Structure 1
Amino acid sequence: MLAGLTNVTFEFGARAIVEDATWHIQPNERIGLIGYNGTGKSTLLKLLVGQYQASAGTVERSRNTSIGYLHQDLLSFDTNDTILGVALGAFERVLQLEKELEELGKELENTASGRTAAQEDALLHKYSDRLHEMDTLDGYNIHHKTEEVLQGLGFSNADLQRPYKEFSGGWRMRVLLAKMILQQPDLLLMDEPTNHLDLPSIEWLEKYLVHYQGSVVIVSHDKYFLDRMVTKIVEVYQRQLHVYNGNYSYYEVEKVQRVELQQRAFENQQDYIRQQERFIERFKAKASKAAAAQSAMKRLDKLDRIEDVAIERPNIKINFQVDKVPGKVLCELKHVSKKFGDIGIVEDASAEINRGDKIALIGANGKGKSTLLRIIAGAESYDGERKWGHNVDESFYAQHQLESLDVNNTLLDELKGAGSQKTEQELRTLLGCFLFGGDDVDKKIKVLSGGEKARVALAKTIISKANFLMLDEPTNHLDIHSVELLIEALKKYEGSLILVSHDRYFVSKVANTIWEIDNKKIKSFPGGYEEWGEWKERQKANGGTEGKKSEAGNKKAEPAAPKKEVVAPKPEPVADNKPQPASVNEPINKELKKELQKQQKLFQQLEEKIAQLNKEKTRLEAQLTEPDTYSDRNKFVQTETDYKKVDDELQRMNKQYEEVFEKIMELESK
């Protein structure tokens, strides 16, 4: 065992993060550490490296185990050294040997030093020892290794001699990641390493870590990354650690089965407990049954209670609403060029976005994806023409949009002012999807972190009723569960969108068209991310001779690409296939709206009835436990009959409640 926890409890004040948790990390393991935001994933890593001390239990670390820990706090590090120099810091002993060999070499060259033969032999022996150690540590290849790793993480040769302090936070994190990889610790702990990486760098890191000689524990919301790299999942859930021997996809299937089994066991045990308690209450005062009642009480006291596995965060749905249908072409770029100084982003590029397109703009950092998105949004200057389509109602989400938030508003007030006409409860529910629960919604925006502000801005984008969305890295500050909710919403979204994202799972689930900036042109692939990836692999295998991708806007798919329309099939019909209203400003479907209102009214009535029935059930349960009820046989029979009648009615109402809820969700998604 390299490191681990044995019966560990850790608390922040009165809040327990984990209770009596045990987890042992073995050599050569690939572990994904997952859990909802705020459940304590980063805290566990800090426990393992000794930054936090356990409230109870033992944190174990093998004396000879070296641990590397990559986390966001490392960004406070600053230096004037080149990035190559910073990364070479991984080889402290080799660098020290280089200096010693240089000094020893100079000393040996100095023939006028007056050394004796014995001193000369000792100096030569020392020099020989250092050379042998240098060779053993493969010290002559450290520059090549370092350059290879830095280039794999996206740095060009020209970047290697630039000062570290010139780079932004994301690029600095890459340098520190390179240094940690080169140190080759026995145990590598990584907290969201893919947050600052582009797609080529993520793919390089995947391949590197798969063959890494040590063990790796990684916290990540990138499902593709977890699927391809890890062989074990450890989930922080309800203050316990749950281990699953497989990748993330295996965990998803296995967890559902575990929860179902535990839920059935819990419900069966609760039925048993209720029966025993009723028996005890009924017969504990009766002499002939007192011993049996006492035995039942002892059985309940000794019972190993099964915990309820109610999901901590309910599976709430995010729903977009679109007010009006746009024309067939939403945006057209003609002969667009953009430069930053001498660096060209696009040159004489043309593209077209049609109704129903869900476009992912992908590629390496520095290729101009976000710049192109800003050009489409009208937030960036350019040469050429950008033609907006008819009846387009757009909404643009990007990091700089955070400036438009009113810092003196609460989260709830900020969303109320967005004009969505949603109720306060609906807005609270939406904020819950974006990781703001309970009293968080009453916080002022000025006290939020950058990531929290980004989530508020994204929530505002979602309630905008726009028919064209432009999204720049929308999943950056979301956990896996929230990403899933956003995916489901965007799949059902009837408008069009273009997005920039390095989350491959997100892109694969949302996009039906892939755009790539290639040789300063916008190239379009008419298909999803996985099809695009397969096509790229075939191109690489054939030396790039299997046809070129078509220009965006060119409706003829190249021979190598799948033969399909530019707009891939959707779960629901796009606006093209629906009857067009007489006027584009009229509601899209009056009958639909009328039916939705009817179901919402029924939903409210059912809620009220269920509340009344629950109240009556509680009253009858209390009555059944009263000795007076049991002393009067007729009263007992009547109360038990009434209880069963209310319970049956409540089950029927709950079933109808769920059916109406599903109907409302279905109508809202149309």
Structure 2
Amino acid sequence: MIRLENISKQNGNHLLFIETSASLLKGEKAGLVGPNGAGKTTLFRMITGEEEPDEGRVAVDRGVTIGYFSQDVGEMAGRSAVAEVMDGAGPVSEVAAELKALETAMADPDRMDEMDEIVMRYGEVQGRFEELDGYALEGRAREVLAGLSFSEAMMDGDVGALSGGWKMRVALARILLMRPDAMLLDEPSNHLDLESLIWLEGFLKGYEGALLMTSHDREFMNRIVSKVVEIDGGSLNTYSGDYEFYEQQRALNEKQQQAQFERQQAMLAKEIKFIERFKARASHAAQVQSRVKKLEKIEKVEPPRRRQTIVFEFQPAPRSGEDVVSLKNVHKSYGARSIYEGLNFQVRRKERWCVMGVNGAGKSTLLKLIAGTAEPDTGSVTQGGSVKMGYFAQHAMDLLDGERTIFETLEDSFPQAGQGSLRALAGCFGFSGDDVEKRCRVLSGGEKARLVMAKMLYDPPNFLVLDEPTNHLDMATKEMLIQALSQFEGSMLFVSHDRRFLAALSNRVLELTPEGIHQYGGGYSEYVARTGHEAPGLHE
């Protein structure tokens, strides 16, 4: 269906692909993986024809339609979200436009003499529209938008009034409604809440076309793909199986390659030792020559490429009292909308609460009340003795000064700290060498998130309040954060749509629903087992 044949591609001085091949067959669902900057987006753009390979070719079977969702959604304004989504539905939207134009022509008295042809053409176009299930299009568009958590008002409102994250969902809905033969999805799980993510998972499982996607959400990727294409040092390596299988296979391959490399190095060392020892002796000249020739012919085994991994290490935090924070009879409204009416909630030492709830249930509001960035209308929020809080807010990344470098940002926060200690801190969060001189305005979302975390964790808190901490992090960084937080001795309260993060770190669940607030002992996995659903908005 789609074949990449011996492609090579260079970006500036950076070699992305070197004479490498891969394919996507009809109905296959594949994950595309590789470190940041490896060329995942370039690969998508070559398949859609937006970029050409320098050598080799990209072959797409005749008549195959491709839908491409990228993070760059462009401008949207002046139409409703429904109209915007329907407009992207491929051939059917063109037929709908012609149908509309013919209806206008039939009502135009100046075109009476053409009426026979217009009516005849109208019949043909209408037949084609019915064939493409055009009359069901608006219903399907609304269904997709509802799956992505749009309310009726948002569907019918001007798409220009939506935030960047919601516009992304509109762009994604366009591709899903189009139902092309092949979908290329670049990070579709970004900006989605848990309910939308689970809905999308179900949609993609039922989709019959071919799928190639990237995602930093391990659980999402694992449940959908049955093949993984990895970009590694200019090559495309294909693994048959889900993401979990790919990881195991990759680790096994690395282990085998390391063993092979070590065996060859030992053999080479032995041969070189023999040559060095006997090269001056005439009696061994023939043997030495034959061994030199043998060495020249040997194909060298490369050691496996080590992926750079970041290791976060928490300094031990001072111990807090048993009662960390207590909310008593808290009421909170925004305008006419009541969020909490008489909320009672308590966090005790070493408890790790994850907060679950649909959009607008008040998850971020709860975190703000506890962090002290919002006040309750009535009721009290009391912090316990010796509590030292670290708060990661979704907007914290917008507060970084774009003109300051990474190093200056850390220095501003910790003027007493030595240069060496701040460089070590930056290194822990993946900023090594000259990286610390980058200005904040050029950082990616993931880099900004890591910098904010570095600031938060340098002087260790004993109570972490985290609002979607993994939003911009790649899989490797997420894994490191999970490893570090699982060693954290203090208490935690967090919101996340990453199921791996939820399952690995929570030991309590607070569920906010319109019917009321429920507290569950045991972590997220127990919550799923007990309720039968992975998020409050979904009842199986």
In the superposition, the TM-score normalised over structure 2's length comes to: 0.91
Q: Name the CA distance, whole Å, in 2 between partners of 1:262 and 1:198.
A: 40
Distance 1:357 1:404, change over 3 A: same
**Aligned with residue 140 of structure 1, among 135, 141, 151:** 135
* 1:86 corresponds to which of 84, 87, 91: 84
The 2-side partners of 1:144 and 1:417 are apart by 54
Provide Cα deviations, 1:547-599, integer angstroms capped at 9, x if missing partner.
Answer: xxxxxxxxxxxxxxxxxxxxxxxxxxxxxxxxxxxxxxxxxxxxxxxxxxxxx
> Map of 1:149-168 to 2, 5 A cutoff?
149-168=144-163
Asked whether the 8 Å contact 2:446–2:474 carries over to 1, the reply is no
Structure 1 counterpart of 2:239: 244
**Hey, what's the Cα distance between the residues in 2 that align with 1:539 and 1:448?**
33
Give the equivalent residue in structure 2 for 1:320: 314
Distance 2:161 2:142 in 1: 18
Given the alignment, which residue of 506, 513, 518 partners 2:513? 518
Asked if 1:14 corresponds to 2:13, the answer is yes
Letter in 1 for 2:439: K
Contact kept in structure 2, 1:407 and 1:446, CA below 8 Å: yes
Q: How does 1:243-642 map to 2 (within 5 A)?
A: 243-314=238-309, 316-383=310-377, 384-402=379-397, 405=400, 409-416=404-411, 418-419=413-414, 427-428=422-423, 430-519=425-514, 521-537=516-532
Q: Deviations over 1:258-316 (max 9, x none)?
A: 111111011111112222223333334433333332322222222222111142214x5
Conservation of the 8 A alpha-carbon contact between 2:316 and 2:489: yes
On the 8 A contact 1:346/1:520 being kept in 2, the answer is no
- Indicate conservation of the 8 Å contact 1:349/1:520, yes or no: no
User: For the residues of structure 2 that align with 1:58 and 1:114, how far apart are their CA atoms?
Assistant: 52
List per-residue Cα deviations over 1:491-532 (Å, max 9, x = no partner). Answer: 110000111111111111111111222127542221211221
Q: Distance in 2 between matches of 1:404 and 1:102?
A: 48
How many angstroms apart in 2 are the aligned matches of 1:248 and 1:92?
31
1:166 deviates by 0.4
Could you tell me how far 1:251 is from its partner in structure 2? Answer: 1.6
Residue 105 of structure 1 deviates from its aligned partner by 5.5
Aligned to 1:593: none
1:364 Cα offset (Å): 2.5
Deviation of 1:42 (Å): 2.2
Compared CA separation, residues 211 and 509, structure 1 to 2 (3 A): same
Alignment of 1:48-67 (within 5 A): 48-67=47-66
Q: Shift of the alpha carbon at 1:181?
A: 0.9
Whole-Å separation in 1 of the counterparts to 2:427 and 2:207: 38
The match for 1:191 is: 186
- 1:62-87 CA distances to partner (integer Å, 9 max, x unpaired)? 3322222211112x222211001000
Is the contact between residue 334 and residue 349 of structure 1 (CA under 8 Å) also seen in structure 2? yes
The answer to whether the Cα contact below 8 Å between 1:420 and 1:465 also exists between their aligned partners in 2 is: no
Mapped partners of 1:358, 1:101: distance in 2: 58
Letter in 2 for 1:85: A
Amino acid at match of 1:33: L
- The 1:535–1:89 alpha-carbon spacing in structure 2 relative to 1, beyond 3 Å, is same
Please state how far the C-alpha of 1:477 moved relative to its aligned partner.
Answer: 2.0
Q: Which moved more, 1:345-354 or 1:52-61?
A: 52-61
Kept after mapping to 2: 8 A contact 1:87/1:178: yes
Over aligned residue pairs, what C-alpha RMSD do you find? 2.8
SS of match in other structure, 2:150: coil
Assess if the C-alpha contact under 8 Å between 2:357 and 2:511 holds in 1.
yes
Label 1:23 to 1:110 Cα distance change in 2 as closer, same or farther (>3 A): closer
Separation in 2, partners of 1:106, 1:41: 45
Whole-Å Cα distance in 2 between the matches of residues 114 and 25 of structure 1? 52
CA-to-partner distance for each residue in 1:78-118, whole Å, 9 max, x for gaps?
22110010001123543444454456567668999876xxx
Aligned mates of 2:32, 2:174 — CA distance in 1:
22
> Any conservation in 1 of the 2:185–2:213 contact (CA below 8 Å)?
yes
Q: Secondary structure at the match of 2:36?
A: coil
The structure with more radius of gyration: 1
Which among 198, 202, 214 is matched to residue 197 of structure 2?
202
Q: State the 1:125 CA deviation.
A: 3.8
Given that 1:90 and 1:180 are in contact with CA atoms closer than 8 Å, whether structure 2 keeps it comes out as yes
For residues 207 and 544 of structure 1, what CA distance do their matches in structure 2 show?
14
Q: 1:379 to 1:290 in 2, by over 3 A?
A: same
Instruction: Check conservation: 1:4, 1:25, Cα contact below 8 A.
Output: yes
Q: Answer whether contact 2:313 2:428 (CA < 8 A) is retained.
A: no
Question: 8 Å contact 1:346–1:521 — kept in the other structure?
Answer: no
Structure 1 pair 155/271, CA: closer, same or farther in 2 (3 Å)? same
SS of the residue corresponding to residue 366 of structure 1 reads coil
8 Å Cα contact 1:418/1:464 also seen in 2: no
Q: Which moved more, 1:225-234 or 1:88-97?
A: 88-97
Q: Is the 8 A contact 2:332 2:338 kept in 1?
A: yes
- TM-score, with structure 1 as normaliser: 0.74
Match of 1:230 in 2: 225
Letter in 2 for 1:73: D
In structure 1, what is the Cα distance between the partners aligned to 2:201 and 2:97? 35
TM-fit CA distance, 1:169: 0.5
1 CA distance for matches of 2:533 and 2:230? 37
Deviates more, 1:136-145 or 1:125-134: 125-134
CA distances 1:624-662 after superposition (whole Å, capped 9, x unpaired): xxxxxxxxxxxxxxxxxxxxxxxxxxxxxxxxxxxxxxx
Contact kept, 8 Å, 1:420 with 1:464, in 2: the verdict is: no
The equivalent of 1:571 in structure 2 is none
1:360 maps to a residue whose letter is C
* Contact kept in structure 1, 2:449 and 2:473, CA below 8 Å: no
8 Å contact kept, 1:349–1:521: no
Q: C-alpha separation between the residues in 1 aligned to 2:106 and 2:160?
A: 39
Cα distance in structure 1, aligned partners of 2:112 and 2:180? 45
Q: Which amino acid aligns with 1:80?
A: G
> What's the secondary structure of 1:193's corresponding residue?
coil
Bigger share in strand:
2
2 CA distance for matches of 1:372 and 1:480? Answer: 28
User: 1:184 Cα deviation (Å)?
Assistant: 1.5
Task: Go from structure 1 to structure 2 and tell me whether the alpha carbon gap of 1:250 and 1:100 turns closer, same or farther (over 3 Å shift).
Answer: closer
Contact 2:311 2:429 in 1 (8 A): no
Q: SS at the partner of 1:91?
A: coil
**Partner amino acid, structure 2, of 1:37:** N
From the superposition, tell whether residues 129 and 267 of structure 1 become closer, same or farther in structure 2 (CA, over 3 Å): same
Greater RCO (Cα-Cα under 8 Å, separation 6 or more) = 2
